[in-house]
Structure 1
Amino acid sequence: MSLMTRGERADFSLQAWLSPPQPGRRFLGWLGPLLVTAFAAFFRFDRLGQPHAVVFDETYYAKDALALLKFGAEHSTIKDAEGKDLADPLILKGDTDTIWTGGGSFVAHPPAGKWMIASGEWLFGMTPFGWRFAAALFGTLSVLVLARVTRRMTRSTLLGTGAGLLLALDGLHLVASRTAILDVFVMFWVLAAFGCLVVDRDVARARLAGRLDDLRFGPRLGMRWWRLAAGVCLGLACGTKWSGVFFVAAFGVMTFLWDSGARRAAGIHRPSAGALRRDALPAFVSVVIVSAVTYVASWAGWFASDVGWGRHWADGRGGTFSFVPAPLRSLWHYHAQVMGFHTGLDDRHRYQSWPWDWPLLRRPVAFYYSEPSGCGAAKCSREVLGVGTPAIWWAALFALAVLLGWWLLHRDWRAGAVLLGYGAGFLPWFYYAAGDRTMFAFYATPMIPFMVLAIVLSLGLLLGPAEESGRRLVGATLSGAYMLTVLANFYLLHPILTARVLTYDQWRFRIWFDTWI
């Protein structure tokens, strides 16, 4: 489909300058990304039900998801037919086997991610495969999204496919995609929002090229559906974890800067003023208001429920804001309680870490560990270690430095976007670290696509233009060697990412640092 709307007349050279065409045939543009997505799907769904145990915080989210299916809101107490508390989701088999007592459960995170987990439980039952299904699905789809977004940003099918492959080979991404925790859903919706804004950038610039009847401020560009879709995705990210709000702020600034830059490139006399006049308010509505509405809508089950925590707190209460409907005031009060919980969360945990530890992979989380028999040695080990692939994470530090230099020298929009996305997922946590808040390395999951983008853009710089054959050959050789290194690194770590039974010596060989224990 053409980026131009009916009736628009664009000068082709200007349109090509503002929004270069995509490379090659559409079929080939999908073939590579789909192949690496299938590769990712195999590793994420293979033995997904193993370990047949509750892994780390699955003990909370698997039960909360089941409660959402039954009541629309998290429920506080689960007992068996004899009145015994049930703490293990593995023994929750159905209505006839469990009794739900008490009122709503106070939980620290919004329900959107748990509704996604609940979809797998609805399809496949209250089993490890069931509650991990949605994480595996969204983790797999994120590979396809990143491959296509990278292709659009670089106009290179090769680089797009490479980005998808790197994401498929990251250890933390794999573990997050095989565990019923929330971070993989935050990552997916943030990446989807970023992708929608990248598409919107192309669409808006193509429209701008065809409507240059006002060179002072530039034209209005009409309804921008991709930016609206980005707002929905950001609302779902916030509806999974509040950390999504950092990306709302960052992407809101980013899309405004892109609009201003497009008007400047098109020759508009007052591009920043034009972006303020024509684009700022629609952007605010699409990114901020739509995400807020989507976030509130994600609480629909809580609104419809009679057992949700604090659901009727405001019923019959007066006060300054009594004109606001009672359910909304109850939700606001609930959020104030959750904010108090998050700001006061400073309990010590064996696997906690600080933001400056995350890029170095200093203290990953052991999601699961056991010492089974049957490995042919005196001592066996079986683990799910939430650690990123070092060849990706450590290379990303160098690549981000390259992009920072490239942006400072050339103001390349792609470098700026990647740095902004990475910073939105990383820098805010330093504020909470100052307050001694308990944090874990898997909080960095939403950063992973931007790390991969940084590496791929750096590889693109290494490859250089096609007409420089000598440089191209050297760049291709080095890039290929790097990809093989990542593949070998992932292959080595794979058994301790997916609970394979190893001898103790084999396990210890893969534990590179004592801080990984």
Structure 2
Amino acid sequence: MKQTGKATRGTAINAWLPRTPLPVAILLGAVAEALFLVRVAVPHRPIFDEIYYVPAARAMLERAYLLNREHPPLAKELIALGIRLFGDTPVGWRFMSTLAGTATVLAVFAIVQLMTGRLRSALFAGVLTILNFTVLVQARIAMLDTFMTAFLLAGIATIAWAMRDGGWGKWLAGAMLLGAATACKWAAAPYVAFAAFAFLLLKRGHPQRWPGLAPLPAVALLGLVSVATYFLSFAPVLHFRVDPLTWRGLPSYQYYMYEQQVQVLPHHTYQSDWWTWPLLIRPIWYLYEVTDGAQRGILMIGNPLLMWGGLVAVAACLWGWMTSRSARLLAAFALWAGSVATFALIPKSLGFYYYYYPSSIFIVIAIAAVFDHWRARLGKWDERLVIAAFILALCYFPVLSAQALGSPRAFQYWTWLPSWV
């Protein structure tokens, strides 16, 4: 009788969900895209790093010269595509970012669905991703990290799909997506190595996984396809009128990019160390000034409830793996820990909170993994967490979406710590 009661309660909790994830994913994506498009044209001028990437995209459209030469071209090519479709306007600059933000939400949904096999957990993760602040902010600004993270999450989801169902086609697609992420920003490159290591580790312990994929050919294909995808992203920017790139010159150009990445830069107001990002010590005001006729602000910050609470979830994933050897909990922990460790090792002179953007999404996956693993104990606490995160999102929405604020001192309402100013 007790088992029947538990089954009945579980059925009642999930009775409103459809049997397949596709309708839920479509609805989730539609809601995310609609939210990201709300007043996306405000402010009507480039803000923060848009001052570098929008001119670089314009130059690509004119095939004149290559700007922002320290980063690969794919994200700037996508910004240029938005300008071609919608004109050289704020909507044109940012539209492709909204699609990347929606793709990120759907990729999280897919990863958790594949990880847990439960639609409720996948929807929970997707909704928390929307309420996590960082995706909303990055989906409304033309920056490289938005596109890099979208390709990265999509690549992880596709490789997880290959693990479940097998097939060289899915593995090939996952490798291409990871290569595309690296073609947006080099910070994605370590994930190709992470994917290869995870594949070999899981294949050794569970040979039945990735059916049809032999270890050495699979790893070789992952590396070759991701590198080829990366270099193909340079095709549209070859043979510009001024100081053109050529296929022959691409290898030496990579060294030039490396030199630009590791150069010592002057102090920046918003610079911060990697270990401060999980603690939410130094977020960034992308905008805080009078523009479009009013005082407005855009604060790049993670939802404090999810950022701080997510650290507990990450620790719980590690502890749960140590006690139960759950591969799902280990995967959730490793995604977050690996993303943070990357920036502990990268030789850059300056760091910024927005580098934590992928980690702020992986921490949501850790939260979803914890609620799924201990669902019998936690019951409907996932619904309560969503409600609390939604309330905080409503409170912060004015400084996530550049709404008009009451006064120049209005920022005090949202800056809980002195370092947030």
TM-score exceeds 0.5? yes
AA partner of residue 281 (structure 1): L
Aligned match for 1:460, one of 372, 377, 382 = 372
Q: Aligned partners of 1:152, 1:436: CA distance in 2, in Å?
A: 35
TM-score, normalization by structure 1: 0.74
Q: Aligned partners of 1:61, 1:49: CA distance in 2, in Å?
A: 16
Judged with a 3 Å threshold, the aligned counterparts in structure 2 of structure 1 residues 343 and 391 are, in CA distance, closer, same or farther, namely same
Q: Aligned partners of 1:342, 1:171: CA distance in 2, in Å?
A: 28
Judged with a 3 Å threshold, the aligned counterparts in structure 2 of structure 1 residues 424 and 30 are, in CA distance, closer, same or farther, namely same
Dislocated runs of 4+, deviation >6 Å: 23-26
Judged with a 3 Å threshold, the aligned counterparts in structure 2 of structure 1 residues 109 and 436 are, in CA distance, closer, same or farther, namely closer
Aligned match for 1:389, one of 297, 303, 310 = 303
Q: Does 1:500 align with 2:415?
A: no
Structure-to-structure mapping, 1:424-503, within 5 angstroms: 424-432=338-346, 437-464=349-376, 471=377, 475-503=378-406
Aligned match for 2:218, one of 253, 261, 283 = 283
CA RMSD of aligned residues (A): 2.4
- In the TM superposition, what whole-angstrom CA distance separates every residue of 1:275-324 from its partner, at most 9, and x where no partner exists? 9x972222223311100000010000233434355x26xxxxxxxxxxxx
More helix by share: 2
Q: How much has 1:148 moved relative to structure 2?
A: 2.4
Q: Alignment partner of 2:374: what SS?
A: helix
Could you tell me which residue of structure 1 aligns to residue 278 of structure 2? Answer: 359
Between stretches 156-165 and 25-34, larger displacement belongs to 25-34
Aligned match for 2:180, one of 236, 244, 253 = 236
AA partner of residue 178 (structure 1): R
Aligned match for 2:324, one of 410, 434, 439 = 410
Q: Aligned partners of 1:306, 1:293: CA distance in 2, in Å?
A: 25
Q: Is the 8 A contact 2:261 2:348 kept in 1?
A: no
Structure-to-structure mapping, 1:69-468, within 5 angstroms: 69-71=61-63, 75=65, 104-105=66-67, 107-204=69-166, 224-263=168-207, 279-308=214-243, 311=245, 327-328=247-248, 330-371=249-290, 381-432=295-346, 437-464=349-376
Judged with a 3 Å threshold, the aligned counterparts in structure 2 of structure 1 residues 278 and 501 are, in CA distance, closer, same or farther, namely closer
Q: Is the 8 A contact 1:365 1:385 kept in 2?
A: yes
Q: Is the 8 A contact 1:353 1:440 kept in 2?
A: yes
Larger radius of gyration: 1
Identity, % of aligned positions: 28
Structure-to-structure mapping, 1:14-93, within 5 angstroms: 28-71=20-63, 75=65
TM-score, normalization by structure 2: 0.90
Between stretches 30-39 and 62-71, larger displacement belongs to 30-39
Q: How much has 1:251 moved relative to structure 2?
A: 0.9
Judged with a 3 Å threshold, the aligned counterparts in structure 2 of structure 1 residues 342 and 372 are, in CA distance, closer, same or farther, namely closer
**Structure 2 unpaired stretches of 5+:** 1-13
Judged with a 3 Å threshold, the aligned counterparts in structure 2 of structure 1 residues 231 and 352 are, in CA distance, closer, same or farther, namely same
Q: Is the 8 A contact 1:37 1:164 kept in 2?
A: no
